[in-house]
């Protein structure tokens, strides 16, 4: 019987945050219940339908993807607000220069702060009594 517990690393946590951003984008848009449009539908010519931007086709995420996204969102709660924004911006593939501008620092400092935030999450996940370390899921 092997008691070796799988350990989280920075690459796994970063990949999970990036997957959470992708899953969040795939969720259907939020609409207010009870409101509807009274305007009649616009009838378009055949050639006008090619530029039809009204229909957005998306493929909703699976329930397992949503669970993994919610788990990653719980991890973000371990960080302070500035680091939350930093982690999510990087997971959303913002350039380091843009992140640095947002936080008022150079790109190297932004990278160091991001690395520290990711390392804090990894450290918390690898704690033996951490609730999320027991539910590693599909890392």
Summarize pLDDT for 17-35 with one digit per residue, the tens. 999 999 999 998 777 777 7
Neighbours of 120 (CB within 10 A): 17
- Residues 72 and 20 sit within 8 Å (Cβ to Cβ): yes
* CA angle at 48 for the pair 45 and 50, rounded to the nearest 5°: 130
- pLDDT band at residue 105 under the 50/70/90 scheme: very high
Whole-prediction pTM value?
A: 0.75
The pLDDT of residue 95 = 96
């Amino acid at each position: 019987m092997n008691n070796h517990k799988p350990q989280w690393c920075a690459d796994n946590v970063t990949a999970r945050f990036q997957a959470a951003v992708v899953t969040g984008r795939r969720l259907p848009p939020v609409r207010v219940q009870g409101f509807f449009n009274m305007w009649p539908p616009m009838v378009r010519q055949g050639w006008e339908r090619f530029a039809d931007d009204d229909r957005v086709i998306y493929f909703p995420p699976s329930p397992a993807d949503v669970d993994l996204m919610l788990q990653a969102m719980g991890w973000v709660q371990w960080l302070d607000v500035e680091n939350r924004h930093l982690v999510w911006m990087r997971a959303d593939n913002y350039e380091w220069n843009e992140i640095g501008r947002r936080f008022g620092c150079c790109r190297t400092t932004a990278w160091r702060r991001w690395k520290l935030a990711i390392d804090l999450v990894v450290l918390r996940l690898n704690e033996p009594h951490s609730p999320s370390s027991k539910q590693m899921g599909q890392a």
